[in-house]
Amino acid sequence: MGRIQLKNVTKRFGKLEVIPPMNLEIDEGEFVVFVGPSGCGKSTLLRMIAGLEDVTSGQVLINGEDATHVRPARRGLAMVFQSYALYPHMTVRNNIAFPLKMAKAGREEIEKRVTSAADILNLSSYLDRRPGQLSGGQRQRVAIGRAIVREPKAFLFDEPLSNLDAALRVNMRLEISRLHQSLGTTMIYVTHDQVEAMTMADKIVVLNAGTVEQVGSPMELYRNPVNMFVAGFIGSPKMNFLYGDFAADRSAHAIGIRPEHLTLSTQSGTWKGSIGIAEHFGADTFLHVTLKDDTQLTVRAEGENNLGHGDIIYVTPMDGRIHHFDENEMLRRG
């Protein structure tokens, strides 16, 4: 259960149009990630689906029914906030039980559901603590627990991992993915981190300035970005863009090539350059190479090499991996 459709949805704050007419379909059980730079309207979009923000025009359909003017609680969606928004004066147990109490569920029912949610999230031994006594990751799990007990049609996550440290973020990413697999519920996840988008999503929606740039599976976006914005946003390290002669040689306005699609040689190759900085990660090495005309290029090389600052190398793009873009920064097919 949980199909969400947006039909010509717009949002204005006064005269400022934050989201121009937008159409989007989210299928049952899908894990959809809204990704984009800050201020692109992805959180606003999520809050409009949740009902916390009014829709200026257009329709929000949940399971085919018009929910545009239904109040948040009646939409049957659950949200996990960036600040977790736990109730500080309640114990973990009461935090998780709160939506059930508001729904006037029976005492046994509440006890049963809270216990099972706590089991799923490994919170059983913390049930009588207050949020203030928990670590960031535990608070995050309580917030998810509060969402789970409602058995919602869909989960909405608003940058849930951005307050966690790097190691914990990787853990929680896996936990949320695992949760999605075991519950099978639709999830909509907002983030500005393309790594989260790539690793978790079934479908990524790339947003920029309120408009959808591209929708597709992570690998689809990786392989076939429709424009330079998506090409530059998806993938880490970023795709290299080359202009001027490099692009003119291939009769394009600009060409793009990912760092991992370049081969390296010390003898010969298409482009010659000198290494500015070599970042050795162990498994890989990222070389920041300066080509002619001060063009910067990032190259992903194998981990074990002893290249360093000042070395002259030759770089060759792999066949069929170059993306050609026209003057409007759109992908030129063929």
Pairwise CA distance, residues 28 & 101, whole Å? 28
Quick one: 81 or 286, whose CB is closer to other proteins?
A: 81
Min dist CB 127 to other proteins, Å, is 18
Quick one: 133 or 217, whose CB is closer to other proteins?
A: 133
Nearest to 214 by CA among 196, 195, 200, 233: 233
Pairwise CA distance, residues 1 & 19, whole Å? 27
Nearest to 137 by CA among 113, 170, 114: 170
Quick one: 102 or 318, whose CB is closer to other proteins?
A: 102
Determine, following the binding rule CB under 8 A, whether residue 102 of this chain makes contact with other proteins. Answer: yes
Determine, following the binding rule CB under 8 A, whether residue 98 of this chain makes contact with other proteins. Answer: yes
Determine, following the binding rule CB under 8 A, whether residue 331 of this chain makes contact with other proteins. Answer: no
Contact set for other proteins, span 115-174 (CB under 8 A): 132, 146, 150
- Radius of gyration of the CA atoms of the chain, in A: 24
Min dist CB 140 to other proteins, Å, is 14
Min dist CB 201 to other proteins, Å, is 23
Quick one: 47 or 258, whose CB is closer to other proteins?
A: 47
Quick one: 164 or 228, whose CB is closer to other proteins?
A: 164
Number of residues that bind other proteins (CB under 8 A): 25
Nearest to 25 by CA among 52, 64, 55: 64
Determine, following the binding rule CB under 8 A, whether residue 81 of this chain makes contact with other proteins. Answer: yes
Min dist CB 66 to other proteins, Å, is 19
**Hey, what are 82's tokens?**
């960036």
**Hey, what are 135's tokens?**
């670590």
Determine, following the binding rule CB under 8 A, whether residue 2 of this chain makes contact with other proteins. Answer: no
Single residue of 36, 41, 99, 259 touching other proteins by CB under 8 A: 99
Contact set for other proteins, span 179-208 (CB under 8 A): none
Task: Give burial (CB, 10 Å; 0-12/13-18/19+) of 309.
Answer: exposed
Min dist CB 46 to other proteins, Å, is 12
Single residue of 22, 26, 49, 79 touching other proteins by CB under 8 A: 79
Would you list the DSSP string of 177-226? HHHHHHH--EEEEEES-HHHHHHH-SEEEEEETTEEEEEE-HHHHHH--S
Pairwise CA distance, residues 23 & 132, whole Å? 41
Pairwise CA distance, residues 303 & 247, whole Å? 30
Min dist CB 136 to other proteins, Å, is 16
In the block, residue with structure tokens 């090495």: 285
Contact set for other proteins, span 59-78 (CB under 8 A): 71-73, 77-78
Contact set for other proteins, span 17-56 (CB under 8 A): 50-52
Pairwise CA distance, residues 297 & 256, whole Å? 10
Query: Which spans of this chain sit near other proteins (rule: CB under 8 A)?
Result: 50-52, 71-73, 77-79, 81-83, 85-90, 98-99, 102-103, 132, 146, 150
